[in-house]
């Protein structure tokens, strides 16, 4: 009986680890295949609507189509900013934006050429996973976990062969 339980336990644990690795990678990889850009929210300017630590999914959009109230992502110097459109100045080719947590609109208008796209959705707390996976050590962890899951499955096979 014991010769069957240990290989089964190793097999189940290995499969669970592999499924966990795959499931944790899906929110980061699948949306990219669907054409979304993915960013991590690191400031509280859009709270409470989009909390710090959220992941935002941004789709390409035409600047002229942006309406008041749309949440957009745009380049500001070397960083990505996510704010709400207050006014779309089509003639001037720029937006006036404002963070939900800010009392006043942003000082500088956003030229159309800085627009990344419209924020389609966000998932709170997923930003920490994105930060982990984008770091070198995070990639090493993912590979190690996947290798552990695969090794447990190999061990289960060997234990079953030895029991026969």
Q: DSSP characters for the chain?
A: -HHHHHHHHHHHHHHHHHHHHHHHHHHHHHHHHTT-EEEE--SSTTTTTS-TT-EEEEE---GGG--TT-EEEEEETTEEEEEEEEEEETTTTEEEEE-TT-SS--SS-EEGGGEEEEEEEEETTHHHHHHHHHSHHHHHHHHHHHHHHHHHHHHHHHHHHHH-
Residue bearing the bigger pLDDT, 87 or 125: 87
pLDDT of residue 1: 60
pLDDT of 64 above 90: yes
pLDDT of residue 25: 82
Residue bearing the bigger pLDDT, 85 or 164: 85
pLDDT band, residue 2 (cuts 50/70/90): low
Please identify which residue in the block is written with the tokens 């207050």.
Answer: 86
Q: What is the second-level CATH architecture of the domain 2-163?
A: Ribbon (2.10)
Domain boundaries, the chain: 2-163
pLDDT band, residue 68 (cuts 50/70/90): very high
Residue bearing the bigger pLDDT, 132 or 77: 77
Q: Among 10-24, 94-108, 121-135, whose mean pLDDT is lowest?
A: 121-135
pLDDT band, residue 154 (cuts 50/70/90): very high
């Amino acid at each position: 009986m014991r010769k069957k339980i240990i290989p089964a336990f190793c097999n189940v644990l290995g499969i669970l680890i592999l499924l966990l690795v795959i499931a944790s990678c899906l929110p980061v990889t699948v949306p990219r295949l669907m054409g979304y850009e993915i960013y991590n929210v690191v400031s509280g300017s859009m709270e409470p609507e989009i909390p710090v630590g959220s992941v935002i999914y941004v789709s390409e959009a035409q600047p002229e189509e942006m309406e008041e109230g749309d949440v957009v992502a745009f380049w500001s110097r070397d960083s990505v900013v996510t704010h709400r459109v207050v006014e779309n100045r089509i003639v001037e080719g720029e937006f006036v934006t404002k963070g939900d947590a800010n009392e006043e609109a942003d000082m500088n208008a956003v030229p159309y050429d800085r627009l990344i796209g419209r924020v389609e959705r966000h998932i709170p707390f997923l930003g920490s996973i994105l930060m982990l996976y984008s770091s070198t050590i995070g990639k090493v962890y993912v590979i190690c976990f996947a290798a552990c899951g695969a090794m447990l499955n190999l061990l289960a096979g060997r234990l079953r062969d030895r029991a026969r």
